[in-house]
Amino acid sequence: MIKIRFCKFIYTVAFISTGLSSLIGCGNKVAEVPPDRRDSGKIYISVDESFKPIIDAQIQVYESSYPGTKIIAHYKPEADCLRDFGIDSIRLIIATRGYTDNERQFIIDSFKIQPSKMAMAFDAVAVIVHPNSPDSMFTVNEIKQIVTGSYSRRLTPVFDGLRATSTVRFMIDSVLKNENLGPDVIAAETSEGVIDYVARTPNAVGFLGVSWVGNMEDSTQLTFLEKVKIAHIESTDSPGGFVLPVQANIYYRRYPLVRNVIYTLKERHKGLGHGFAEFLTAERGQLIFKRAYLMPAHMRFTMRNANLSE
């Protein structure tokens, strides 16, 4: 009888000990709960400065829908954004390109994260000139001549920086085909700086993301368009025809200076970064891109005939 009672005592102690261990284990799990979810918490993201107007709008709508969230965007030249592939605290990067195979492996090796990337919309490089400029229609070859300094008339090209921006990279890769920029190229600090320089310099030609000047329903952009005008560029499918960087021309690639808007997500858990990335590619985020006169990448685009005489 004594042995039986002793065994019961040992069993009880063992049971209590196991229970305490489980509670301690649960405590550790609670401590590992991520500090943010798609509907709460704070994250930092890195965004190409070319896309500031549209990403500001996306963040405003998302935070209004989920009041417990805070998305802090650092706007900077694209090269600085791409360097943030190596910064653990930056969850989401928005630029004109995603990671390369080598960059993907670096992220995996450094942070033990499987990154993902996706195109959200299609943007264009807008060309702006002074309102009194006699030149407001250019071929791509003439754009190349302006940027390299070989154009027949002396025009001053203005970029949002000289080396590190997505606009400069696009022009070098897609227009100059890796030729050098000319000696007369001017560097403004921001896209708004490009607008200001062109507005006060009659012979200047500015290059910037269309999201800064393409939304005719935005009061700030309408103010910009009182100071500058958007140049027409020769269409890709109609030689001798010149087009503006509007949605239909971006969609059909009639406008020749089209580029992607891509997010790179590097988040260990399905938190606020995942939530915002999914929002950008879902219906509401795509509608915001559309209303900002960019071309959504995940919405069907319907063309309707319009009676221009009405």
pLDDT for 113-126, tens place per residue? 999 999 999 999 99
Model pLDDT, residue 42: 97
* pTM (two decimals): 0.84
Q: Which CATH number fits domain 123-258: 3.40.50.300, 3.30.1360.120, 1.10.10.60, 3.40.190.10?
A: 3.40.190.10
Rounded to 10 deg, the angle between the 272-281 and 283-291 helix axes is 60
Start-end ranges of CATH 3.40.190.10 in the chain?
41-122+260-296, 123-258
Residue spans of alpha helices (H) in the chain: 2-31, 52-65, 78-83, 101-111, 140-148, 166-170, 191-200, 219-225, 247-251, 272-281, 283-291
Please identify, in words, the CATH class of the domain defined by 41-122+260-296: alpha beta
If one compares 164 and 231, the residue with the highest pLDDT of the two is 231
In the prediction, which pLDDT does 6 show? Answer: 40
The one-letter code for the residue type at 215 is: N
Question: Across residues 251-255, what is the average pLDDT?
Answer: 95
Instruction: Give the residue-averaged pLDDT of 75-91.
Output: 95
Q: Which residue has the higher pLDDT, 90 or 161?
A: 90
Is the pLDDT confidence value at 20 over 60? no
For residue 217, the model assigns a pLDDT of 83
Q: How confident is the model at residue 178 (pLDDT cuts 50, 70, 90)?
A: confident
